[in-house]
Each structure stands twice: as C-alpha cells, then as structure tokens.
Amino acid sequence: AMAREVLNVLDERGIQRAVIGGLSMGGYVTLALYRMAPERFTGMILADTRATADSDVQKDGRRAMIDLVRQRGPGAVADDMLPKLLGETSRRERPELAGQVRGMIESNSRDAIAGALEAMMSRPDSRPLLPQIAVPTLVICGDEDVLTPPADAEALHAGIRGSRLVRLEGAGHLSNIESPQAFANAINAFLGELPSSR
C-alpha cells in the first residue's frame, strides 16, 4: 500500500522515472515498489535495511511490540527502541538525539505504529528480487546498526550486481540522523555519477 502511494505521488507530479530509496522500513517500501514498477527507477538507495523477511523470532518481537503500543502507547515503544535505534557513539556523544528520535516516535498514533509493525512482519522475502535489480544502487549502513547490522547491508550489496556499499562509522540504525553529513555525501557522490538524464 505504501509503495502504491509513492507511485500515486509520482503520477500526480508527472514524474515518470526517479532515483527512489528509503531507510529501514523505507527500504522495504523501495523493494516493494521495484517489484511493482521497476521501469520507474533510474537508481535505488537502500539504507539500514535488509532483503530477508522476518524470522519467527523477529515476528514474535513485533507481536510483543504491538501489544506494548496497544497497552502503553508510543512512549513505551520509544523506551524500548531508543537503545536499538541509535548507535553507541551517538548515545555517548550526541545524547540530544535521543529526545529528537523520541519525539518522532511519540508523534505517531498507536494504530499507526501497530499497522507499521504488522506490515513489516508480513513483508515477503526480497532476496529473489535482488539479482533482478538492474539500476545503479547505493547501499548505506551504519557500522553500529544492531537492528539491520552491516552483514545485512553486505548481503544486499552482494545480491545486487554493480551496487555500491558505504558504511558510516559511528552510526547506528538511523544513520541519516546520526551522521547526516556523511550520509548526504554518500548520496551526493552516488547521484553525481548517474547519467544526466536522471
């Protein structure tokens, strides 16, 4: 459904083809969109995400999180997730980020968080899709990401022919927030090498 909404936005704005990407769940949406409409891509960016479906253990964890948000609200989700979302370096050197990320989590409703968890829990395995990706692809990961560790990024990189892998030192799962300049530099370098017709 999220991928279809992205297509709707592209159509409404008259954008036929674009570099499309996402971080974390946004990576799942990007892969879903490529399954639906690969012709709309001129490039792809996958940040702090993975190709595999949830394991049984991961599904159990999401069910527990759904129960938590239903019973205690977004604040309880923030309490549980903050140590996992931010890397050790960020928690130590940039403690103000915790408040910023908490605000982002708590700005969502219980239903929105539960719905996102249910969607992630039921997503398909995208590994068979990877060899079919035929556009320039950038894979980014924080080297302190514990939710989608560097091994997941390396698997994406290995599975997508010709892709580029960038690891951001001292960043966790939210590498775009934790290392914004390095994240932007990686994207700008990638975009700068694409054909001018993008």
Q: Is the pLDDT of residue 198 over 80?
A: no
Q: What is the pLDDT of residues 135-144, one digit of tens each?
A: 999 999 999 9
Cα 64 to Cα 58, 71, 76, 116, 117: the distances in Å are 10, 11, 12, 14, 10
Report how far residue 165's alpha carbon sits from residue 58's, in angstroms, rounded to the nearest whole number. Answer: 25
Q: What is the pLDDT of residues 6-50, one digit of tens each?
A: 999 999 999 999 999 999 999 999 999 999 999 999 999 999 999
Report how far residue 42's alpha carbon sits from residue 184's, in angstroms, rounded to the nearest whole number. Answer: 19
pTM to 2 decimal places: 0.94
Cα 165 to Cα 10, 26, 68, 184: the distances in Å are 27, 17, 35, 14
Q: What is the pLDDT of residues 52-68, one digit of tens each?
A: 999 999 999 999 999 99
R_g of the chain, CA atoms, integer Å = 17
Q: What is the pLDDT of residues 73-84, one digit of tens each?
A: 999 999 999 999
Residue 22 · residue 49 · CB < 8 Å: yes
Residue 127 · residue 51 · CB < 8 Å: yes
- Band of pLDDT at residue 196, cut at 50, 70 and 90: low
Q: Is the pLDDT of residue 158 over 80?
A: yes
